Structure 1
Amino acid sequence: MRDSLRESNHDFRASTQLFNSLDPAKIDGDLDVINRGKQRGEVNQPPKTAKNLDDVEHAIVERVEDEKKAAHHTLEDNLQLLGGRLAGLDFEEQFGLIRQTNAASVSDFKASVAVGLDELHGLRRALNDAEKEHAWFKEKHGLVRAARVQHGAAHIFRLSLLLFLFLVETAMNGNFLAKGNEQGFFGGILEAAAFSFINIGAALLLAVFCARLVTHRSFFVKFVGIISILFYIGLAISINLALAHYREVSG
């Protein structure tokens, strides 16, 4: 029973190939070639003068021919299946689509290159002009250092600091001005905001356009920057005195 269960149902050796080799041991076990050969040999069958194949030999030949025909049918079936799949792939149509897409892609790429060259030409001219202006500016002012570019974080920090000073000054002055204002704290805040705007706005304008002149290489321009700083000091004192006087009068 165990041997019958373990026995394979084909005459081939186990392999991963499509057309496997015949297993002589399996055929021998099925046809009992050795025992039948001994039995027929004992009775001298077939005789030495026989030219035709006997029954055992015919059985072996038929078994091999059957396997040959089965393998041939398998080959034909697989060839038909392969032919159908190749026909379904339609390589000619696919190649035509590839050629068409390739031609369109090349045309689009050339058009994009032409547009990019036009844009690069304009950018190159702008870059050359900027480099010439930069070289002229450094030569005119005798500068050797590289340009100092303000970053976004530093700019945001300056604006935040100005806003913070504006709010602090408005809150402090609004508390004092609210005592003599008919609208109370809200009116005092509005008046304080006006004074703070004038004070900080004037400081900002003078710092941007005038105070920075003190770093100029020309002595005359430096003198203008120093005068601007002194003017701002006087203006700040005047604004604060005016605010104190207004608070005293309104209080």
Structure 2
Amino acid sequence: MFNGPKKDKIVSAYKPVEFPADTAEGLANALDVENIAKRMARQDLPPSDAHSVDAQELQFKQEIEKRAIQAKARIQQDANFKEMEIANLSLERDLADLSALPETFTNTIDREYQENEPELKQLKVQYTVALDDLLAFKRQHDLRREADYPLSKTKSAGLLFFMLIIETVLNANFFAQGNDLGLLGGAVQALIISLLNVSVGLMVGAFILRWKNHISSSRRLLGLIGTILSATLALLGNLFVGHYRDSMIVDPDNGERMAVQQFLNGPFELQDFNSWVLVAVGLIVFFIALYKGYTWDDSYPGFGKVDRRVQNAKEELLATKAELTDAMQDIYEEHVQNAESYYKKMQKDKQQLEILFSSMKNDFVLYRNYLSNLKNAYQYLITLYRQTNKKERTSSPPAYFAEPIVISLDELTQVNEPTDRRQLFDSYLTKAAADFPEIKNKLLTAQSVKIQQINELCKI
């Protein structure tokens, strides 16, 4: 992933320190050296017996020293600013943070695990208890198979709703005959009867018919008897609906009373063929609903409920485990990204150091050149002053005019040049690039150990 420090071309974003561009001739003109030398010569000054430089030469020297001190202030201010920026570069700290990532990652996932461990243990206990209950239930009821029930009730519910609508639509027209509200009234009556057929059939299949499969012979018998009675009642109820329709056609005002009388006289003596169709449709809907109720859950009473407790506990345990595992993966990816960020920042800081250091070195080259120019300018000023004075005066010049012209600016202009830390920063980058595979491997190992610990805790 890392290819070591890059050696891209460095372009400085810092302007060089500016020093005055005065020439020796320009300084001589600015200080009026020749005129001052002539004026002093007309007065035969400095005296021929003078042993030290006069006030004029001292003034020229002070001017040069002042300019040197001003240059020192400029270079020192710029160096201090750039040294502060270099001090803010944090390759050593970033390398330490990069090296500490495995430890911080381990601490983080340990804390995450400890926060979720009690919940996982509780869910594991719930699953274990539910599984024990299921096994005990199977032993008690001599069941040697797995529970069989639809995972989703959507299709069954949709079919029942469809049957409800179909029966209502089919019967609405039958009941509309003789109804004061016409088709609307017939639809309402048909809907009520359809609801009764569907709901009763569903409940008989779900809560009565299943008991025919019970291990207890008495409960099996009760289940069969209850189912037969319920089916008989459904048959009689639908026959009564057929008589009710016959009566409403003949005498709408006394339909209910006539229907009761005809039903008691002969339940199967319907007058109209459409009434028989009405009874047939009702019974078909009832028995389909009964079958759907029977297959709504496992055919053995209570088996599906106990099994679902196990499945729900298992799903909840596995879901919580998956969430924690995903959290571990997110933490791992975050730490890998942090490692890459640290390295990229170190590369950027190294480039910034190159820029700053190169800029400072260039500034010091300019500073030394400027000081050298000042020394040359001083020699020029003093030489010009003495030669002009010597030429214009009538008396002999002082003996020191023949001495070498020397000025030392070292004590006034001493500035500590920047320490070259580029090699040190290179070593940090090289170590980071070399350590990264091992750091990533440590992260991956710590993650694997923790996930294995989670798997052991959630093992089922």
TM range, smaller chain? 0.5 to 0.7
How far, CA to CA, are the matches of 2:178 and 2:194 in structure 1? 18
What whole-Å deviation, never above 9, does each CA across 1:189-233 have from its counterpart, x for those lacking one? 111000111111111101000001111121111111111221122
The answer for the alignment partner of 1:122 in structure 2 is 122
Matching residue's letter, 1:112: E
How many percent of aligned residue pairs carry the same amino acid?
Answer: 27
Within 5 Å, give how 1:1-251 maps onto structure 2: 90-98=90-98, 104-152=104-152, 155-251=153-249
Q: Aligned-residue CA RMSD in angstroms?
A: 2.3
Matching residue's letter, 1:98: L
TM-score by length of 2: 0.33
How far, CA to CA, are the matches of 1:107 and 1:181 in structure 2? 79
How far, CA to CA, are the matches of 2:242 and 2:147 in structure 1? 44
How far, CA to CA, are the matches of 2:229 and 2:159 in structure 1? 23
**Gaps in structure 1 of 5+ consecutive residues:** 1-85
Count of aligned residue pairs for this structure pair: 164
Structure of greater relative contact order (alpha carbons < 8 Å, 6+ residues apart): 2
Structure 1 residue 142: Cα displacement = 1.1
- The question of whether the paired residues in 2 share the 8 Å contact of 1:211 and 1:226 is answered with yes
Structure 1 residue 108: Cα displacement = 2.7
Structure 1 residue 103: Cα displacement = 5.2
The SS at the match of 1:142 is coil
How far, CA to CA, are the matches of 1:91 and 1:195 in structure 2? 83
The SS at the match of 2:231 is helix
What whole-Å deviation, never above 9, does each CA across 1:99-124 have from its counterpart, x for those lacking one? 66655543331221012211210111
How far, CA to CA, are the matches of 1:139 and 1:125 in structure 2? 21
- The question of whether the paired residues in 2 share the 8 Å contact of 1:178 and 1:185 is answered with yes
Structure 1 residue 130: Cα displacement = 0.9
**Gaps in structure 2 of 5+ consecutive residues:** 1-85, 250-460
The SS at the match of 1:151 is coil
TM-score by length of 1: 0.59
How far, CA to CA, are the matches of 2:196 and 2:221 in structure 1? 25
The SS at the match of 2:240 is helix
Q: Residues 106 and 181 (structure 1 numbering): CA distance in 2 closer, same or farther, change over 3 Å?
A: same
What whole-Å deviation, never above 9, does each CA across 1:152-179 have from its counterpart, x for those lacking one? 2xx2222222112211211111110112
- Larger mean CA deviation between 142-151 and 186-195 belongs to 142-151
- The question of whether the paired residues in 2 share the 8 Å contact of 1:199 and 1:239 is answered with no
- The question of whether the paired residues in 2 share the 8 Å contact of 1:213 and 1:224 is answered with yes
Q: Residues 149 and 111 (structure 1 numbering): CA distance in 2 closer, same or farther, change over 3 Å?
A: farther
The SS at the match of 1:165 is helix
How far, CA to CA, are the matches of 1:167 and 1:191 in structure 2? 13
- The question of whether the paired residues in 2 share the 8 Å contact of 1:206 and 1:232 is answered with yes
- The question of whether the paired residues in 2 share the 8 Å contact of 1:177 and 1:189 is answered with yes
How far, CA to CA, are the matches of 1:178 and 1:100 in structure 2? 84
